[in-house]
Amino acid sequence: MNTLKIIIAGPCAAESREQVLFTAKDIYINYPVKNLWEFRFFRCGIWKGRTNPNDFQGIGDVAFDWLREVKEQFGFKICVEVASVEHVKKCIAHTIDAIWIGARTTVNPFLVQEIADAVKNKSLTVLVKNPINPDLNLWQGAIQRFQNAGIKNVMAVHRGFSIENENVYRNAPCWEIPIALKMKMPDISVLCDISHIAGHVSLQQTVAQSAINYDLNGLMAEVHHAPETALSDSNQQLLPSQFMHLLKNITFPTPHNETDNALFFQRNLIKNIDIQISKLLSKRMKIVDEIADIKAKHAFSALQPEQWKKVMDIYEENALHDENYRQFLQEFLLLLHKSSLKRQK
């Protein structure tokens, strides 16, 4: 496993000259782990494609002057998100060093091809985030479009996937997909966007450690000098000091042979599944307590066979078809039901 890892960090969005420069300065001052990490780019959103049209949509072209100051004062190379050919032209005109293709853009092969044509044979670095949906072929295809356009340095960014039943992270990690991408495209660096997977600063250490355990090539993180005032994604933006603390607390796995490596990856997949199961079980029991309060208020019986039958049907629908698993499922559901009734009583 490669010890030196790439870092890309900066605010979710440029909001003011002071905010951009203060954040860059704080990162510059608090960055003491250069022997383990390579700070590759200062990332910053200029245009923000928000789900809600009433949310902050980005400051626009005025931010280019602020980013030029960052580059001149601290020597950071600059990385900006683009979602159109017009964005690309403006980035090239302002000598931006790298662009990233967002998850909402990656899903559209027509738009990706237009952007690839616009950067053909340019010296830009292009980072391609995974599409919103867990589609490995779509992600790989987007990367290949930029390779075919003569871009020498293309990197992938794993930012998680929008899955309806994800209740732990903002976006489901689905670690098997970036691992499969690394196997299919071994010459491509795959980074992990810990901010968009975690969705909250409290979960980012776990996500970052998992990314390093899976031998991803580095991390992308949203870092803001005053996250509580951020105009977008305030819950997932780290202080520069918090980010450096996160980096210092990551442990690097020792190298393995091929067989050990396969076991290592699979065990870490299980570890991350167990983390999610443990959080979901705790959340389930808290909801059981809330249901108990409602039942008590309206004098409903704790035991409701029809409702429990619906729960069993859900597990049965996703069950493995072997006797060992069915026996485990039967014992697990019996224990789950008994524990739920016990809490309600």
Full residue range of the structural domain in which residue 270 is found: 265-344
How confident is the prediction for the chain on average, in pLDDT? 91
pLDDT(343) > 90 = no
pLDDT band of residue 255 (cuts 50, 70, 90) is: low
Task: For 2-49, write each residue's pLDDT tens digit.
Answer: 467 999 999 999 999 999 999 999 999 887 666 789 999 999 999 987
260 CB-side CA count, 13 A = 7
237 and 293 part of one domain:
no
User: Is residue 130 scored above 90 in pLDDT?
Assistant: yes
Residue 258 lies in a domain: no
pLDDT recorded at residue 53: 81
Q: How many domains does the chain have?
A: 2
Average pLDDT over residues 258-280: 76
Q: Supply the CATH number for residue 154's domain.
A: 3.20.20.70
Q: Tens of pLDDT along 155-172? A: 999 999 998 777 789 999
Asked if residue 327 and residue 199 are part of one domain, the reply reads: no
- At residue 1 the predicted structure's pLDDT band, cuts being 50, 70 and 90, is very low
Same domain, 222 and 331: no
Q: Is residue 256 part of a domain?
A: no
**String of DSSP letters for 151-218:** -SEEEEEE--B--TT--SSSSB--THHHHHHHHH-TTSEEEEEHHHHHSSGGGHHHHHHHHHHTT-SE
- Rounded to whole angstroms, how far apart are CA atoms 174 and 178? 8
* DSSP state, residue 127: E
Residue 223 is assigned to a structural domain of this protein = yes
- The answer to whether 172 and 161 have CB atoms below 8 angstroms apart is yes
138 part of a folded domain: yes
